[in-house]
Amino acid sequence: MPFQPLTQEPEIQRRWLESGAFRAKRSGELLPGSKTFYMLVMLPYPSGRIHMGHVRNYTLGDVTARFRRMKGYEVMHPLGWDSFGLPAENAAIKHGIHPAIWTRKNIEEMKGQIQKMGISYDWDREIASFQDDYYRWNQWLFLQMWEQGDVFRANRTVNWCEELGTVLANEQVVDGKDERTGFPVVQKPLEQYFFKTTKYADELLACLDGLDWPENVKTMQRNWIGKSEGARLAFDLEIGGQIPAGIRQVEVFTTRLDTLFGVTFMALSTEHPVIEKAAESDAALKAFCDQVAAVSREERMTSDVKLGHRTALSVIHPFTGEKVPVFAANYVLMDYGTGAVMGVPAHDERDNEFAKKYGLPIPQVIVSDSEWDLGTLINSGEFTGLKSEDAVTAMIAKLGARAEKTTTYKLKDWGLSRQRYWGTPIPTVHCESCGVVPEKAENLPVRLPEDVAFTGVGPSPLTTSRSFLDCACPACGKPARRETDTMDTFVDSSWYWLRYLDPKNTELPFAKAESDAWMPVDLYVGGIEHATMHLIYARFFYKVLRDLGLASGPEPFQKLICQGMVLKDGSKMSKSKGNIVDPDEVISKYGADALRLFMIFAAPIEKEIDWTGFEGIEGASRFLKRITRMVEDHGNTAEPLPAKDQLAPEEKALLIKLNRTIQRLTDDLERRYQFNTVVSGLMELSNALSDLPAGAPHRGAVLQHALDAFVRMMSPVAPHLAEQLWSQLGKAGLCMQAAWPEADAQYLEADEVLVVVQVNGKVRGRITVPAGASEDQRRAAALACPEAQSHLDGKEIVKVVLPPGGKLVSIVVKG
């Protein structure tokens, strides 16, 4: 049969589906001692069409899933839809189409595309986070966390647009304006819900060491968690100045308490309570704070411009008793440390810039001999001469209750409130008598109402639905108002891989027996853009689930691979750039196998692929055609493979090539996760196959044997064609269910190896020894080497060296 992917591939996909070949077992069906492999890819957002990034991600996952099945593993390989979020809501505003309809249509379309790729997902486990049989478990988990004290409410700054009456996401704010309408956006505090991620900060940090993850991702996570050891120190506000009522002290967090004598100013966040209080009676200060508030946190963190405003306040230096001026400053963040910094311009870069700008003194208090030396104190009163470390200890002792050692983290508690419609409703109720009350678990799900209007203006559509808002207080039964905040969609993706394991469970998010059978995920493949947020939240959730007794083990994803992007002309393929190559277009012309083969071969998994046109796909397609022709020309034979000693040298050589390839590809897929070399290995082997001379005595049997293994090894990458060729070789059943070939040890080594004999460093002869020869045998053979004899005769043999590799024997003689 010729290579006709466009007609063959759908046919083969039907066979796979009909035979249930992708189905993963439930825990109860697993035989004791069976090996399991959980292959997970990051679930897609149903934006409309799949793109090349998806194709690459899913092909890599599929190659692994198919390889593991052939290796005898029970494989879990599911897919679902991360289907809440802003784009659906924007589509509703723009086209007047309900987010649910838009989402369903996109899922249907993308699922069809993915199925055309022949990815071996167990579709019976498909989930979609916008469906209430999924999001009710977000709500259920929220209630469990509420009970454990892992959820709390607090004020946090948001991007607020007064004209629209709504909160905007960071990406919607451009230059302090709503990107759609151009209305101004300000920073404003709002009461919201938080998950206590910081509770697990230390564990999230410590567990990174044990994970088989890319080093750069681990580093990004370490920085994101940002553990910082230092001290807190309280400064007294000056009595008699304009002290805000009720506030006596300002507390700072510092990693360099030893620099205390170098403090020449105090810098406070514009949101610091002392500054807010002082601004009530200081119009200029108020104006400065408003100016800073108009800039988003992100911009403030990346901006180099240090801005400050001197207040009428001072604090007292705890050792010298001197007055230190207090500034409000843009570079001090309220949500890090205490929101207040002791300014040490001689030893801190940002403080230095600030001091120069505002004409503040810059006294040096530390000297160091080298960059490794933390330093010795100067100009520091009784502490002068102490090493920095000792000075910190001594100062803390002297400062008494005013100071203590502490650890601070950059990691924040996770604000999960969104003032949006298209997300999981937070299952709480506002009651006039009881306050904020969690909904009862038996009343879940709290469903998203249908009777809402999408205007794009004004508060969240949920606040316009009477049927949604009106409810009874779960505590006292009186009329109450339902919470209109929905959950950050990162909640949906923080445990979805567990729902795959038990997608129809109506009692629990998933049964522990299922998670115990499959967890942890053996390989997780996805984009590097999820290195922090998603992968921190998911790890956090897993620790919470463990502490709730729902799951076992400390970490969800044992191995992580971040695939590189697919670029076109050096930049990312994206709608806005208009440089998208549609996978469908490629598949409908060349078939899925050619696209898969190209994606795997184009580059190592973690590197970028540059899409330079269709040549790459053409090449892949030609290779597949060549293999097809080779199998066709061969036909098939039942003639058994003769014993090794009956084979001609070129037949033996081919079998050696074959078995070495088996060994190499197995290692590439099982241990190294090197995919592109799998394809190059197949290409080399196919060349060796076509080089077998037409007159070889056992050609038919040798080719049959080699093609049998070749087709099986090709199956994970080009699974459709593999099925077709498998049938042509006269094999029954599905190739994808055949066993992965095992290397035959007798064909791994050549029979004889060439060994070079050196005498005193010069090559004097060459000998051949049996491949398995011992060191003693090789030494003896070298000493008997005829060409070397004239250099050995009458001399004393000092030593015989056999370097590793076995290709050389070096003799050292004297006399």
Binding residues for Zn ion, rule: CB under 5 A, are 431, 433-434, 473, 475-476
Instruction: Examine residue 198 and tell whether it contacts ligand ANZ (CB under 6 A).
Output: no
Annotated binding site for ATP: 575
Tell me which H or E stretch contains 253: strand 249-254
Tell me which H or E stretch contains 7: helix 5-18
* The binder of ligand ANZ chosen from 271, 348, 439, 502 (CB under 6 A): 348
Instruction: Examine residue 254 and tell whether it contacts ligand ANZ (CB under 6 A).
Output: yes
Question: Residues 6 or more apart from 67 whose CB is under 8 A from it?
Answer: 669, 670, 716, 740
**x/- map, 378-417, ligand ANZ, by CB under 6 A:** ------------------------------x---------
**x/- map, 209-248, ligand ANZ, by CB under 6 A:** -------------------x--------------------
| Binding segment (CB under 6 A) for ligand ANZ, from list 275-283, 334-342, 447-455, 547-555 | 334-342
Distances in whole angstroms, Cα of residue 407 to Cα of each of 202, 206, 225, 230, 232: 10, 15, 12, 6, 9
C-alpha–C-alpha distance, residues 271 and 735, integer Å: 65
Question: Quick one: the chain helix, strand, coil %, rounded to 5?
Answer: 40, 20, 40
Q: How far is the CB of 153 from Zn ion (least distance, A)?
A: 16
Question: Residues 6 or more apart from 209 whose CB is under 8 A from it?
Answer: none
Q: Name the binder of 590 from ligand ANZ, Zn ion, none, CB < 5-8 A by kind.
A: none
Phi, psi torsion values for 205, nearest 5 degrees: -75, -50
Q: Name the binder of 279 from Zn ion, ligand ANZ, none, CB < 5-8 A by kind.
A: none
For the chain, what is the largest distance between any 2 Cα atoms, rounded to a whole number of angstroms? 112
Q: How far is the CB of 467 from Zn ion (least distance, A)?
A: 20
Q: Name the binder of 434 from Zn ion, ligand ANZ, none, CB < 5-8 A by kind.
A: Zn ion
Q: Name the binder of 666 from ligand ANZ, Zn ion, none, CB < 5-8 A by kind.
A: none
Q: How far is the CB of 469 from Zn ion (least distance, A)?
A: 15
Q: Name the binder of 253 from Zn ion, ligand ANZ, none, CB < 5-8 A by kind.
A: ligand ANZ
* The binder of ligand ANZ chosen from 71, 180, 199, 347 (CB under 6 A): 347
Two structure tokens written together for 370 = 């080298």
Phi, psi torsion values for 755, nearest 5 degrees: -125, 130
Q: How far is the CB of 740 from ligand ANZ (least distance, A)?
A: 50
Q: How far is the CB of 258 from ligand ANZ (least distance, A)?
A: 8
| Binding segment (CB under 6 A) for ligand ANZ, from list 102-110, 254-262, 585-593, 775-783 | 254-262
Q: Name the binder of 473 from Zn ion, ligand ANZ, none, CB < 5-8 A by kind.
A: Zn ion
Q: How far is the CB of 479 from Zn ion (least distance, A)?
A: 9
Secondary structure of residue 770 in the 3-state scheme: strand
Return the number of the residue (475 or 783) whose C-beta is nearest Zn ion. Answer: 475
* The binder of ligand ANZ chosen from 85, 339, 509, 556 (CB under 6 A): 339
Question: Residues 6 or more apart from 784 whose CB is under 8 A from it?
Answer: none
On whether the CB atoms of residues 446 and 439 are closer than 8 A, the answer is: yes
Q: How far is the CB of 428 from ligand ANZ (least distance, A)?
A: 31
Among 433, 532, 415, smallest CA distance to 152 is for 415
Neighbouring C-alpha atoms within 13 Å toward the C-beta of 391 = 24
Return the number of the residue (473 or 701) whose C-beta is nearest Zn ion. Answer: 473
Task: With CB under 6 A as the rule, give the number of residues binding ligand ANZ.
Answer: 18
Two structure tokens written together for 218 = 């681990």
What b/e readout covers 130-155, taking b as 16+ CB neighbours within 10 angstroms? Answer: bbeebbbbbbbbbbbbbeeebbeeee
Among 587, 422, 492, 550, smallest CA distance to 43 is for 492
Strand partners, 237: 315
Residues in the chain: 815
C-alpha–C-alpha distance, residues 394 and 146, integer Å: 43
Return the number of the residue (438 or 526) whose C-beta is nearest Zn ion. Answer: 438
Instruction: Examine residue 73 and tell whether it contacts ligand ANZ (CB under 6 A).
Output: no
Return the number of the residue (475 or 800) whose C-beta is nearest Zn ion. Answer: 475
Return the number of the residue (30 or 436) whose C-beta is nearest Zn ion. Answer: 436
Query: Quick one: how far is CA 70 from the chain centroid?
Result: 27
Q: How far is the CB of 556 from Zn ion (least distance, A)?
A: 38
Distances in whole angstroms, Cα of residue 92 to Cα of each of 130, 277, 576: 15, 43, 20
Question: Residues 6 or more apart from 460 whose CB is under 8 A from it?
Answer: 166, 419, 420, 421, 484, 485, 486
Q: Which of residues 755-774 bind ligand ANZ (CB under 6 A)?
A: none
Two structure tokens written together for 551 = 């799951």
* The binder of ligand ANZ chosen from 92, 342, 480, 587 (CB under 6 A): 342
Beta-strand ranges (E) seen in 8-70 are 36-41
Q: Name the binder of 339 from ligand ANZ, Zn ion, none, CB < 5-8 A by kind.
A: ligand ANZ
Q: How far is the CB of 365 from ligand ANZ (least distance, A)?
A: 9
Q: Name the binder of 475 from Zn ion, ligand ANZ, none, CB < 5-8 A by kind.
A: Zn ion
- Edge to edge, the sheet with strand 762-770 lists 762-770, 752-759, 808-814, 796-801
Return the number of the residue (147 or 389) whose C-beta is nearest ligand ANZ. Answer: 389
Among 13, 183, 200, 247, smallest CA distance to 113 is for 13
Q: How far is the CB of 483 from Zn ion (least distance, A)?
A: 14
Neighbours of 213 (CB within 10 A): 20
Instruction: Examine residue 337 and tell whether it contacts ligand ANZ (CB under 6 A).
Output: yes
Instruction: Examine residue 297 and tell whether it contacts ligand ANZ (CB under 6 A).
Output: no
* The binder of ligand ANZ chosen from 336, 441, 610, 791 (CB under 6 A): 336
Q: How far is the CB of 135 from Zn ion (least distance, A)?
A: 25
* The binder of ligand ANZ chosen from 106, 259, 314, 464 (CB under 6 A): 259
Q: How far is the CB of 170 from ligand ANZ (least distance, A)?
A: 19
Annotated binding site: 575
Secondary structure of residue 170 in the 3-state scheme: helix
Instruction: Examine residue 264 and tell whether it contacts ligand ANZ (CB under 6 A).
Output: no
On whether the CB atoms of residues 41 and 525 are closer than 8 A, the answer is: yes
Q: Name the binder of 698 from Zn ion, ligand ANZ, none, CB < 5-8 A by kind.
A: none
C-alpha–C-alpha distance, residues 273 and 266, integer Å: 14
Instruction: Examine residue 256 and tell whether it contacts ligand ANZ (CB under 6 A).
Output: yes
C-alpha–C-alpha distance, residues 706 and 704, integer Å: 6
Return the number of the residue (333 or 808) whose C-beta is nearest ligand ANZ. Answer: 333
* The binder of ligand ANZ chosen from 86, 333, 362, 603 (CB under 6 A): 333
Among 84, 172, 197, smallest CA distance to 490 is for 84
Return the number of the residue (261 or 601) whose C-beta is nearest ligand ANZ. Answer: 261
Q: Name the binder of 333 from Zn ion, ligand ANZ, none, CB < 5-8 A by kind.
A: ligand ANZ
Q: Is 240 left (phi over 0), alpha (psi -120 to 50) or beta?
A: left
* The binder of ligand ANZ chosen from 151, 328, 341, 491 (CB under 6 A): 341
Among 495, 502, 506, 523, smallest CA distance to 26 is for 502
Q: How far is the CB of 384 from ligand ANZ (least distance, A)?
A: 17
Q: Name the binder of 337 from Zn ion, ligand ANZ, none, CB < 5-8 A by kind.
A: ligand ANZ
Q: How far is the CB of 539 from ligand ANZ (least distance, A)?
A: 22
Q: Name the binder of 367 from Zn ion, ligand ANZ, none, CB < 5-8 A by kind.
A: none
- For binding to ligand ANZ (CB under 6 A), which residues are involved? 228, 253-256, 259, 331-333, 336-337, 339, 341-342, 344, 347-348, 408
